[in-house]
Each structure stands twice: as structure tokens, then as C-alpha cells.
Amino acid sequence: MLQRFSSFSYRSYRRLLYGLATFVLTLSISLINPQPSYGLSWIELMLRGIQIVQISNISNTQEVALGKEINQELIRSGQAKIYRDRSIGNYVNQIGQRLAKTSQRPDIPYTFQVVDDNSINAFATMGGYVYINTGLMAAADNEAELASVIGHEIGHIAARHGIEQMRDRALAQGVLSAAGLDRSAAVQIGVDLAISRPNSRADELEADRFGLENMIQANYAPAGMLGFMEKLLKQGGTPSFLSTHPATSERITILRQRLDPQTINIGNGLDNRAYSNRIAALN
């Protein structure tokens, strides 16, 4: 009796699971292709908390919404402490927006924030969110050097490295279903990725290339990128935003191959004194 009852309940359970999986799959498809507007609102209400993100073909709108949630969680948890000086924040935003416009991905909104942290570091998360540490701003000698780092971070976003990493991480953790990824799991993975920055060698070199092309498009002197990398090399120890692979020396070699010594100083941002005046509030 017990046996029959449990086999019955197992079948019902299977049926219920199957029904739910179909339902979730249907929902995720309708979130991506929301042509039939009927019913969406109650479905969304009903399934709040199990929203599915389809990583493989995420839209710009979804990516920006996900980035916004990751940003909120980074700040809420204290893992990114935003530096609250308006003149410094505005300055970084102004440089960032100038680069965003000429970037390989100008069609999403970008948010540039300064993190109150003395280490020489910068990072990005998906959907246009870029973070620059106060320590990095202080280490740069001029605006072109700072722009080279911001351009590199925009490069990661333009090349959608965060999305690829999120998919890989979700697969490794076994949380990626046929329908996609649970939204709250996606936010948690996004926070972990923003903090741990597991960029591969290929990703870093691609971000360098995108960043350099973008600097030139935005009329910043390419010397800024070379100058900042050489300074880091001299100081020894690689900050995590440049990760350990490839080595800074290798990046410099590759960068030099791309740069024309005749034009390296052509462009804006090489006035050291103007820069130190702009960031005076940091000291």
C-alpha cells in the first residue's frame, strides 16, 4: 500500500516537475519575445523570484537590468564602497561617457563609479558598469593614462566577457538549466565575478586592443596606455585588473607593435598638471 502510494506520488511529482519546467521555459521565451502581451503581468507576479535569464541570447535590455542588480548588490554588501566626492565622480563619468560614445558598443547606457580603495585597481560588470579605485586615479599621471584603464574596462563590456564568464561559472556550478539561469543566482555569480575578475589571457588582450582603438577614436593620446602599463611594470606586482596572464611586459610588447611612434603623443590627456588639479580632492 505504502509502495503503491509512493509510486503514485512519485509519478505525480514527475508530472508536476515536467509541467513546471515547461511553464518556466515558456515564460523565459515570452520574456525574450514579448509579442503576446496578454497574461504576462500575472505570470510575472506569480513567478516573481524564479525569473529565468537566458544567458546565451541575453538582450541588451536584460543585460543592463542584470548589471544594475549586480551593481546594487556590490554596493549594498559593501564590496564596492562608492567614493562620494561629486567633482571626482563627475570627472570620471565625463571621461567614461566620452569613451563609451566611441566604443565598440555605444548602444547601451554606461555607469562609471569611483571606489574608495587605495589599491591600484579597476573592474567592470556586465551591462555598462565600470568601477575605478581612488588608488588607481592617484597612481595615474594624466587623463590619458586614466582613460586607458577606463577604455580597457569598457572593452570587457563591449566584448561581453562577463556574459561568457557567467555562463561558464553557472555550468561549473550546475545551476544552468535548459531554460536558463535563475535570476538571483545570476546576480550572485555576477557579484563574485566582479570581485574575483577571472579574465583569461585572451580576454585581457582583447580588452587592451578594444581600449586602445577606443582611446584613439575618442582622441586621447595612445601614449597614456603605454605610460600607465610601464609605470605598473616598474612598480612591480600586477594589480588584479591586469591579472597575472598575460604578464604586463608581454602586454607592453604587444601594445608597442600596435603603436606608431610618430603618432603616439597625438591626442588629448597628456597634461599632467591639469590632471593633478582635477583630482586634487583625492589628496
From the list 66, 65, 67, 58, the residue with the least C-alpha distance to 180 is: 58
Provide the 10 A C-beta neighbour count for residue 12. 10
Closer residue to Zn ion, CB minimum distance, 40 or 202: 202
Cis, peptide link before residue 34, omega less than 30° from 0: no
Which amino acid makes up residue 85?
A: D
Least distance from C-beta 198 to Zn ion, angstroms? 10
Looking at beta carbons only, is 24 or 126 nearer to Zn ion?
126
To Zn ion, the closest distance from the beta carbon of 269 in angstroms equals: 20
Cα(160)–Cα(255) distance, integer angstroms: 22
Cell of 153: 574596462
Q: Which is nearer to Zn ion, 143 or 204 (CB)?
A: 204
State the residue number with the nearest CB to Zn ion. Answer: 207
Task: Give whichever of 145 and 204 is closer to Zn ion, judged by the CB atom.
Answer: 204
Closest to 58 in 3D by CA, of 117, 119, 108, 132: 108
Nearer to Zn ion, 12 or 235 (CB): 235
Q: CA–CA separation, 240 vs 195, rounded Å?
A: 10
Q: Which of 250, 242, 254, 262 is nearest to 199 (CA)?
A: 242
Residue 178 CB, nearest approach to Zn ion (Å):
32
In sequence order, which residues have a C-beta less than 8 Å from that of residue 43 and are 6 or more positions away?
A: 27, 30
Task: Estimate to the nearest angstrom the gap between the alpha carbon of 50 and the chain centroid.
Answer: 24
CA dihedral 123, 128, 129, 130 (to 10 degrees): 40
Nearer to Zn ion, 53 or 131 (CB): 131
**Could you tell me the smallest distance in angstroms from the CB atom of residue 148 to Zn ion?**
12
Nearer to Zn ion, 210 or 275 (CB): 210
CB 41 to Zn ion: min, Å: 40
Q: What does the binding site for Zn ion look like in residue numbers (CB under 5 A)?
A: 199, 204, 207
Residue 211 Cβ, how far from Zn ion at the closest point, in Å? 9
* Per-position DSSP letters for 187-241, written without gaps between them: HHHHHHHHHH----HHHHHHHHHHHHHHHHHTTB-THHHHHHHHHHHHH-S--GG
CB of 241 to Zn ion, least distance (A): 5
Smallest distance, Å, CB 199 to Zn ion? 5
Nearer to Zn ion, 120 or 207 (CB): 207
The secondary structure of 110-141 as a DSSP string is: -EEEEE---SS-EEEETTTEEEEEHHHHHH-S
